[in-house]
């Protein structure tokens, strides 16, 4: 039976594969570590005359005339407060330099942050928060849950996400996977001390969004003609979980904003974070569609899903917080895996990836549509987003099964 199913879909499904970023129990390692963090971020204002977005290369610290002076200022602050400077990064998207510093053993972060906040040289300071990807793997069940309900075959006659740039801020993506070859425009690594490496969670998320269509193998992404930016801000742990932090995520978001991302996928969750909030707010002002995965174990679904303007997504049928959210397929989802394989995954990470693919399709149709209008145009049925009806509403044209869509009494997304 298994052989027959594999033959039908052409999936080289991996048995007992564990996708990075397992869903967290109510008490997670990230939450347990937060009060004891030994790392903080110190922001210094980047003088406006030195900001040259066209000359900034996101993979390296930007050189300018004031860098050495700001570095000396950061080192002076570190000496005064008993800190050690570990890493620095220019974030011209917010007009700041960000310094990652380490507290000495036994020294609490609170008093140091208060002292830094009162220092006129410091824009602000905060702890480094930890984040976890929101997904798990599952064995064989080779069915793409969005293919029929979202009428993807009909939708692709109208839009495929063509040339829309989607930033996958995640662990590493296997760009030469048979279903992702040619889909990744660029790769960047923002995890210090490691080179870029392909990892399970990022590869699986990328496949849901933009796996190649019509190539005779594997699956098809929701937006197979979208272009991917594979921004490695997370890393795979030995136990298969995927972790990120404020600093790595901020570097990736800064890069995405400077390089024209139209959709940003954040299949992860953690506590509120001021630096990340400001970067997401900037993305919203530029009309970028930011998609976040809900963690039902965290208040409000966790950050960034809880942040205003983020398209917060839960898996169909999963527990979800009260308030505005979107539901999308997120259980037994066939997708790309490292090692040129395919496997089954479940979790809000992959529901969010479905919505990022949807945003790429809608961005091809209406790239300048304001975010508020876009949100109000989303159509949901009893269980999930209805892509076909949403496209009809956005484009004003009958794009797929209009008769059934018009007859149904759809409700707007809450």
Of 81, 177, 201, 307, the active-site residue reads 201
> What is the 3-state composition of the chain as percent helix, strand, coil, each rounded to the nearest 5?
30, 25, 45
C-alpha span between 229 and 187 (Å, rounded): 6
Active site residue 201: yes
Q: Does the active-site annotation cover 185?
A: no
Residue 205 to residue 207: CA distance in whole angstroms: 5
| Residue 80: Cβ-neighbour burial (10 angstroms; 0-12, 13-18, 19+) | exposed
Tally helices (H) and strands (E) across the chain.
12, 20
Give, as one character, the DSSP assignment of residue 161.
-
Tell me how far apart the alpha carbons of residues 179 and 24 are, in angstroms, rounded to a whole number: 29
CA 306 to CA 404: how far, in whole Å? 33
Phi first, then psi: what are they for 98, rounded to 5°? Answer: -115, 130
Per the annotation, the verdict on 88 as an active-site residue is no
Out of 170, 225, 273, 386, the active site residue is 170
Distant-in-sequence, close-in-space partners of 313: CB < 8 Å, separation ≥ 6? 291, 292, 293, 294, 305, 325, 326, 327, 328, 330, 348, 351, 352, 354, 355
Sign of the torsion formed by the C-alpha atoms of 297, 301, 303 and 304? positive
Per DSSP, the three-state class of 96 is strand
How far is residue 68's CA from residue 405's CA, in Å, rounded to a whole number? 61
Say which of 349, 356, 363, 413 is annotated catalytic.
Answer: 349
Q: Give me the active site residues, please.
A: 170, 201, 349
């Amino acid at each position: 039976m298994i052989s027959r199913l594999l033959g039908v879909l052409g999936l080289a499904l991996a048995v007992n594969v564990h996708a990075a970023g397992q869903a967290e129990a109510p008490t997670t390692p990230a939450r347990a570590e937060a009060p004891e963090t030994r790392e903080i971020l110190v922001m210094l204002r980047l003088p406006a005359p030195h900001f040259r977005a066209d000359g900034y290369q996101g993979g390296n610290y930007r050189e300018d005339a004031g860098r050495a002076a700001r570095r000396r200022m950061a080192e002076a602050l570190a000496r005064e407060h008993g800190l050690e400077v570990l890493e620095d990064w220019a974030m011209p998207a917010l007009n700041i330099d960000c310094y990652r510093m380490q507290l000495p053993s036994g020294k609490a972060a609170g008093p140091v942050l208060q002292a830094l906040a009162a220092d006129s040289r410091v824009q602000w300071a905060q702890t480094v928060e930890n984040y976890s990807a929101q997904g798990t793997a599952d064995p064989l069940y080779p069915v793409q849950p969005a293919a029929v309900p979202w009428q993807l075959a009909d939708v692709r006659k109208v839009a495929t996400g063509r040339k829309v740039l989607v930033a996958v801020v995640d662990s590493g993506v296997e760009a030469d996977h048979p279903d992702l070859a040619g889909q990744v425009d660029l790769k960047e690594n923002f995890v210090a001390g490691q080179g870029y490496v392909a990892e399970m969670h990022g590869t699986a998320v990328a496949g849901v969004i933009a796996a190649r269509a019509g190539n005779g193998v594997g699956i098809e992404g929701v937006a197979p003609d979208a272009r991917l930016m594979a921004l490695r801000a997370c890393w795979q742990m030995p136990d298969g979980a995927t972790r990120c932090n404020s600093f790595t995520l901020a570097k990736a978001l800064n890069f995405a904003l400077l390089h024209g991302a139209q959709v940003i996928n954040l299949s992860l969750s953690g506590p509120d974070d001021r630096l990340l909030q400001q970067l997401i707010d900037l993305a919203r002002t530029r009309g970028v569609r930011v998609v976040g995965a809900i963690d039902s174990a965290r208040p409000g679904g966790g950050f960034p899903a809880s942040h205003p303007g983020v398209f917060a997504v839960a898996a169909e049928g999963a527990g979800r917080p009260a308030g505005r959210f979107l539901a999308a397929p997120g259980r037994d989802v066939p997708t790309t895996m490292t090692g040129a394989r395919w496997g089954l995954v479940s979790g809000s990470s992959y529901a969010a990836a479905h919505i990022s693919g949807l945003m790429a399709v809608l961005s091809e149709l209406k790239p300048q549509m304001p975010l508020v209008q876009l949100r109000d145009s989303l159509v949901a049925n009893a269980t999930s987003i209805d892509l076909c009806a949403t496209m009809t509403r956005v484009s004003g044209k009958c794009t797929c099964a209009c008769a059934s869509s018009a007859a149904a009494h759809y409700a707007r997304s809450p």
